[in-house]
């Protein structure tokens, strides 16, 4: 087994007396897309918040590779390669799609605006920005202000900005939430594209079974804050406890 790219060890957080995440230990590896499922209130988003640093654990530790990142801020974790879709608050609504992506590429390169004095660096950053705009199917709207985009394209832009940061770990929390049935498949395609890069680890919180089926290499099930199942999709979905609790839906829908 290769070294894990991200790992939580006995991770616990209590709000008052209630453990929203309790003793969760699991490790993830490059080239693997894991979907985290569980009923409402199971602790999925809280676990995500602990990994990306929005919340601090009451107990337990988080490792990125060999590095203990438990005490790092969300921005330090982002710099360490943990990318979460909603962290993209660095969106400039009046700038175009391309300009927004270019700024993300530039931020990743660790360069300030003066970099544009260097023509070669400028060209490289512009080319990379074009690449991410194309890869996220945003070429047709590249020159529109970000604020003018329809909802579906804004979600694509989130993926573009996340990809431009070139994280090792991609974290998506219900990436197709609020999208129409026409729009959602594009986001799934984009995630499938990221998955082709076998150096990336993808974590996805998702309720929708079709998304789980389309993308999961592995499913982790949380219930009442605890990890109750972890394995290949067909195996996990066949477990009686998962059939009983999974989103409260019946056997036919799970099958």
Binding site for ligand ATP (CB under 6 A): 15, 20, 38, 40-46
What does the alpha-carbon distance between residue 205 and residue 207 come to, in Å, rounded to a whole number?
7
Strands (E) across 82-225 are located at 82-84, 169-173, 201-205, 218-223
Which residue's CB is nearer to ligand ATP, number 21 or number 190? Answer: 21
Smallest distance, ligand ATP to C-beta of residue 197, A = 27
Cross-sheet strand order for the sheet of 18-28: 18-28, 6-15, 59-64, 67-68
Nearer to ligand ATP, 45 or 96 (CB): 45
CB of 46 to ligand ATP, least distance (A): 3
**Residue 84 dihedral angles phi and psi, to the nearest 5°:** -120, 135
The nearest distance, CB 161 to ligand ATP, in angstroms, is: 23
Please state the closest distance from residue 44 (CB atom) to ligand ATP, in A: 3
* Distances from the Cα of 37 to the Cα of 40, 80, 153, angstroms: 9, 26, 26
Query: Between 40 and 199, whose beta carbon lies closer to ligand ATP?
Result: 40
Return the number of the residue (43 or 152) whose C-beta is nearest ligand ATP.
Answer: 43
| Shortest spacing between CB 16 and ligand ATP, in angstroms | 7
Q: Within 10 Å of residue 252's Cβ, how many Cβ atoms? A: 6
The rounded distance, in Å, linking the Cα atoms of 192 and 111 is 30
Between residues 40 and 89, which has the closer beta carbon with respect to ligand ATP?
A: 40
Q: What torsion, rounded to 10 degrees, do the Cα atoms 40, 43, 49, 50 define? A: 180
């Amino acid at each position: 087994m290769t070294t894990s790219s991200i790992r939580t060890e006995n991770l616990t957080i209590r709000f008052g007396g209630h453990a929203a995440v309790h003793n969760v230990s699991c490790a993830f590896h490059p080239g693997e897309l894991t979907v985290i499922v569980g009923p409402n209130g199971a602790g999925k988003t809280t676990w995500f918040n602990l990994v990306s640093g929005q919340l601090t654990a009451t107990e337990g530790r988080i490792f990125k590779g060999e590095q203990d990142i438990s005490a790092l801020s969300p921005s330090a974790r982002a710099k360490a390669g943990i990318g979460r879709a909603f962290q993209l608050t660095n969106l400039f609504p009046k700038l175009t799609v391309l300009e927004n992506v270019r700024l993300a590429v530039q931020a990743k390169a660790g360069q300030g605006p003066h970099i544009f004095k260097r023509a070669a660096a400028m060209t490289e950053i512009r080319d990379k920005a074009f690449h991410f705009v194309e890869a996220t199917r945003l070429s047709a709207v590249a020159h529109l202000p970000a604020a003018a985009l329809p909802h579906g394209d804004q979600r694509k832009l989130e993926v573009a900005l996340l990809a431009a940061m070139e994280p090792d770990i991609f974290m998506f929390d219900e990436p197709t939430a609020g999208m129409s049935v026409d729009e959602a498949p594009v986001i799934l395609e984009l995630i499938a594209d990221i998955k082709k890069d076998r150096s990336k680890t993808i974590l996805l919180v998702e309720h929708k079974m079709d998304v789980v089926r389309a993308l999961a290499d592995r499913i982790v099930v949380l219930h009442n804050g605890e990890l109750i199942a972890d394995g290949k999709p067909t195996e996990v979905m066949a477990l009686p406890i998962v059939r009983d609790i999974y989103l409260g839906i019946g056997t036919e829908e799970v099958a």
